Structure 1
Amino acid sequence: MFIACLFGTQALSAHAFGVRYQLDVPLYYYVLGAGLTVGLSFVIAALFLKKSATPSAPIRLKLLDLDGAYGWVVSGARWLCGLVGVAVFFIILTAGFAGEQSPTRNIAPVFVWSIWWVGMVYVQALVGDVWRLVNPWRLVFDAVVATLKLGPFTGRLTYPVVLSRWPAVAFFWLFAWLEQVAPFAEVPSSLALLILVYSAIVWVGMFLFGRDVWLDRAEIFSILFGFLARIAPTKIEDGKLWLRPLGVGLASATPLSRASTVLLLLLLATVTFDGFRDTQVWADLIEWALTRSWLFAPLFWVQQQNIDLRLFFESVGLLVVPLFFFVSYGVIAKLSALLSDGSYNTRSFSGQFVMALLPISLAYHIAHYLAFLLLAGQLAIPLASDPFHVGWDLFGTLGYRMDVGIIGIGTVWWVSMAAVVIGHMYAVYTAHVMAVASAKSHGRALFSQLPLIVLMVCYTMASLWILAQPIVQSD
């Protein structure tokens, strides 16, 4: 059960409790109600948020002057955060290679898949850009450059413009495949080797093209966490720490590149597939494929290559679902451009309004992984006291045992539903703010948004249905 709790997702919250949440009304009431709520939020925004009401500059409050009287405290805090980030990085590597090879009794897989991947998304979006302070690849590279006295290091080569952020797109798909499909990614030594290989790629990339260039163009986690930090209520700018409304950093008049657009769509598509494969529909699709005579030969060939059919189908699904998202969003962008009367073309609309989908990705991440974080994350409590299994009890938590009752199955459902609905409503608001700020007229802004709003309403209902399948029971 602990392996299932560690490497499963939403479905496993139900498995851990041994029950499903009984809804008091049919599921489709919730699904339709959520869709109507999101649609109504667009109507309200259209009525009350006009172009004249759109602020020219976001409201923000200065919290701290980082270079002021307390600059030494800030510098010390930065140094401490960096030290913690690098220390954790090497602890994870060492434990992965030398520690016990059980996924639930080794801190490497527990930390990477629950604390770091799930938790860091929440921290970046709901607190601020903490990753920049603890990024071990950046800090280790800086330390080596300083030790070797290389001075301002800008790399040896010019990064090819044609590559854009496509390397990051490829890295993220591979990361999603490792997280959701690959069985060896839960083995501590294999995971440590993967981390080491990726670290080598990052450091070589920094050496060849420069630290900042590689982090901005190819290092997937710096790019992705940077996007999520745009949602956060804090931002460091001009040597000051600012407090701002949630999500204000999403609105931008500059369209993203094609690669960045694909990356944000891929983020949403991969987490959606992770939920979809827990549904009966996915199981039925696999059964359908296995009973098609015209698929017998290719599937038999796959088995002859010693490829597990489950891994094969999930790998195919992880390709097909993102392609479906790309095509759907492309059609929506084309329709919206046609309705905008020249305010946008397909390229500019897709690159600009994809940022409005980021709150949806965050919402689904919360709905899909919160129970996983609260359950599997508990495994890190005793492991933190003895990461190498040598008998330490550094923090007095070695005897801690997992509490599966930390979150109830009913709470999982209601949090999931609230996250999905609120995330979509904020996405509608963000899209409307961007539209009224850049369209030729308020009317054109409304018309151009209609296809995107329809997409958001449909995804609200679809995602809520997917989330409900493994955890609720409805008459």
Structure 2
Amino acid sequence: MFAPRLIGAAILALILGTGAALAHASEQGLVLLLPTDVYIASGAAAVALTVLLMAVLPERVLEVIFSPLRLMRLPMSAAPLVTSTFAALGFLALVASGFAGPRDPVENPLVLAIWTVFWICVVVTQGLLFDIWRWINPWRGPLALIRQLTGVRSPMHLPARLGHAPAIVTFLGFAGFLMADPAPADPARLALVAGTYWLLTLIAGLVFGPRWLIRGEGLSGLLRCYRQMSLLARRGGRLQLGLFGWQILKTRAPKGGLAIFMLVILACGSFDGVNETFWWLGVLGINPLEFPGRSAVVWQNVVGLLTANALLVAIFAGTIKAGLLLNRSDMALGAAMRIFAPTLLPIALGYHIAHYYTALLVDGQYVLELLRDWAGALGHGLEHGLMPDHDHAHTEELQHLHVTTGFFNATDTMRAIWLTQAGAVVLGHVIAVMLAHGLALRAFGSNRRALLSQAPLAAFMVGYTFFGLWLLASPRGV
């Protein structure tokens, strides 16, 4: 039990131990001067119509829609352990660059790697395409290598009664650092947090064994959940391809702790948008046009994050309980929550994509410029066997030469951006409704009983669609 507490304490100490005020690598504040009320109403209506459609569709239709195609055979391989080891070495090199590299967040490789490449690109790839985390997890390979070289067995077992509580704690620690820390994009500070977290996780993995990466490490837990949403997956020794979320209908209901973890994912993602809005600053009594900096709202955001999680769990439990009462089912509330918790993953992923889309459009350019800079430096340095040092002025000019934010200044491009964001949110909710109906048919049998059980949850999803689109359109002051 010491590992999650140690990790959480270390992160909290770092959150409270600074007076700086840096946020993400680039600002995400944006006021949309578009007819957002029309878009929001249309999105909520689309989800509501999906609910009505599910009420009349037979179960076999959903089975056809979510049935995967069986592709090539995919044998087990040790290659992911090799790539994981190289990923760990690359990560440690990035941590070193956080201490020794440029102080500007949009020029430092660690900041771009953590907040753009990992938190946006890797997470989205994991949820949409395939299990990329299996190949780049920076702990699996080193843990396997250390055990093989030393022959040391894990001296302790992770108590089963803890379930996924350690993963919830460590993920909340990560979310707290992202949303409440005054300077999560300061290179040296991020290097200290990331390096400490990697080392503590490695130690916990050696103490408790591989189960720590399943039930103790929050980021691995997040990506294991999102793996159920991907189009491609290896099942039964074959690569299979299906509609987003098809694996949820092919997988047994998660255990209680994992189900709560899925709710935490959605709650943290939602608060990640709320804590930047004028509305939230108004709740805190702060003028958003005179925002004093993130260091002034550390404890407020920590309390808000924890409150958002408790509130979502309570609301979800209430909707599930109401559905059981309408259905006159004797199913236990906990069992029903475990069945339907995975249906919230499409909503969480859809909002994650929408929320960080504009950040990707900007910071992605810095990543490409950095890669271009490295490629050029490597080409010039091959004859010396080492990458030569670059003049800082030349590097700064290269970094900023092709980066533009001009697409934020035109109505046409902003409309395209907003529609893409709104589409991600609405599509996530539509898939969630379809999955929930399919699971309800399986759990309760008849279409009528499934519809009764899903009525409160469907109302919750329609309301959450409106809420998610409102978040996208709300002015931000952070």
**Structure 2 residue aligned with 1:22, among 6, 9, 33?**
33
Partner of 1:285: 283
Q: For 1:289-344, what per-residue CA distance to the aligned partner results, in whole angstroms no more than 9, with x for missing partners?
A: 9xxxxxxxxxxxxxxxxx94322222221122222212111211211222232263
Q: State whether residues 375 and 406 of structure 1, in contact with CA within 8 Å, keep that contact through their aligned partners in structure 2.
A: no
Normalised TM-score (structure 2): 0.82
Distance 1:131 1:465 in 2: 32
Query: After the TM superposition, which of the residue ranges 268-277 and 164-173 deviates more from structure 2?
Result: 268-277
1:58 CA displacement = 6.0
Query: After the TM superposition, which of the residue ranges 104-113 and 429-438 deviates more from structure 2?
Result: 104-113
Partner of 1:172: 171
Partner of 1:107: 109
Distance 2:60 2:71 in 1: 29
1:262 CA displacement = 2.2
1:84 CA displacement = 4.9
**Structure 2 residue aligned with 1:355, among 342, 347, 361?**
342
1:127 CA displacement = 1.1
Q: How does 1:347-386 map to 2 (within 5 A)?
A: 347-384=334-371, 385-386=373-374
**Structure 2 residue aligned with 1:419, among 414, 420, 424?**
424
Distance 1:389 1:465 in 2: 49
Distance 1:364 1:440 in 2: 31
Relative distance call for 1:154 and 1:47 in structure 2 (3 A) is farther
Answer yes or no: is 1:451 the counterpart of 2:456.
yes
Q: State whether residues 262 and 326 of structure 1, in contact with CA within 8 Å, keep that contact through their aligned partners in structure 2.
A: yes
Answer yes or no: is 1:41 the counterpart of 2:50.
yes
Relative distance call for 1:102 and 1:434 in structure 2 (3 A) is same
Partner of 1:338: 325
Q: State whether residues 164 and 259 of structure 1, in contact with CA within 8 Å, keep that contact through their aligned partners in structure 2.
A: yes
1:159 CA displacement = 1.4
Q: State whether residues 5 and 376 of structure 1, in contact with CA within 8 Å, keep that contact through their aligned partners in structure 2.
A: no
Q: What is the SS of the residue equivalent to 1:236?
A: strand
Q: For 1:50-95, what per-residue CA distance to the aligned partner results, in whole angstroms no more than 9, with x for missing partners?
A: 235554996333333234xxx9xx776x477446523431221110
Distance 1:60 1:320 in 2: 39
Q: State whether residues 157 and 208 of structure 2, in contact with CA within 8 Å, keep that contact through their aligned partners in structure 1.
A: yes
Partner of 2:139: 137
Gaps of 5+ in 1: 15-19, 290-306
Query: After the TM superposition, which of the residue ranges 351-360 and 180-189 deviates more from structure 2?
Result: 180-189
Tell me the amino acid that sits aligned with residue 87 of structure 2: G
**Structure 1 residue aligned with 2:222, among 221, 224, 242?**
224
Relative distance call for 1:64 and 1:187 in structure 2 (3 A) is same
Relative distance call for 1:240 and 1:79 in structure 2 (3 A) is same
Q: State whether residues 62 and 240 of structure 1, in contact with CA within 8 Å, keep that contact through their aligned partners in structure 2.
A: yes
Answer yes or no: is 1:410 the counterpart of 2:415.
yes
Q: State whether residues 88 and 138 of structure 2, in contact with CA within 8 Å, keep that contact through their aligned partners in structure 1.
A: yes
Q: What is the SS of the residue equivalent to 2:276?
A: coil
Tell me the amino acid that sits aligned with residue 442 of structure 1: N
Query: After the TM superposition, which of the residue ranges 334-343 and 434-443 deviates more from structure 2?
Result: 334-343
1:140 CA displacement = 1.5
Q: How many positions carry a matched residue from both structures? A: 431
1:218 CA displacement = 0.6
Distance 1:33 1:240 in 2: 40
Gaps of 5+ in 2: 1-21, 288-293, 378-386
Normalised TM-score (structure 1): 0.83
Higher relative contact order (CA 8 A, sep 6+): 1
Q: What is the SS of the residue equivalent to 1:136?
A: coil
Distance 2:226 2:117 in 1: 17
Tell me the amino acid that sits aligned with residue 22 of structure 1: L
1:464 CA displacement = 0.7
Q: State whether residues 95 and 108 of structure 1, in contact with CA within 8 Å, keep that contact through their aligned partners in structure 2.
A: yes
Q: State whether residues 147 and 153 of structure 2, in contact with CA within 8 Å, keep that contact through their aligned partners in structure 1.
A: no
Query: After the TM superposition, which of the residue ranges 367-376 and 383-392 deviates more from structure 2?
Result: 383-392
Distance 1:284 1:312 in 2: 16
Tell me the amino acid that sits aligned with residue 178 of structure 2: E
Q: For 1:378-437, what per-residue CA distance to the aligned partner results, in whole angstroms no more than 9, with x for missing partners?
A: 22233333499932999xx76753122467322221111111111111110000010111
Partner of 2:382: none
Answer yes or no: is 1:326 the counterpart of 2:326.
no
Q: State whether residues 5 and 375 of structure 1, in contact with CA within 8 Å, keep that contact through their aligned partners in structure 2.
A: no
Distance 1:145 1:215 in 2: 15
Partner of 2:183: 184
Q: How does 1:197-208 map to 2 (within 5 A)?
A: 197-208=196-207
Partner of 1:251: 249
Distance 1:111 1:238 in 2: 34
Distance 2:27 2:64 in 1: 45
Partner of 1:64: 72
Q: What is the SS of the residue equivalent to 1:62?
A: strand
Answer yes or no: is 1:6 the counterpart of 2:25.
yes
Distance 1:330 1:41 in 2: 23
Tell me the amino acid that sits aligned with residue 370 of structure 1: Y
Relative distance call for 1:287 and 1:233 in structure 2 (3 A) is same
**Structure 2 residue aligned with 1:237, among 235, 238, 253?**
235
Instruction: Tell me the C-alpha RMSD between the 2 structures.
Output: 3.0
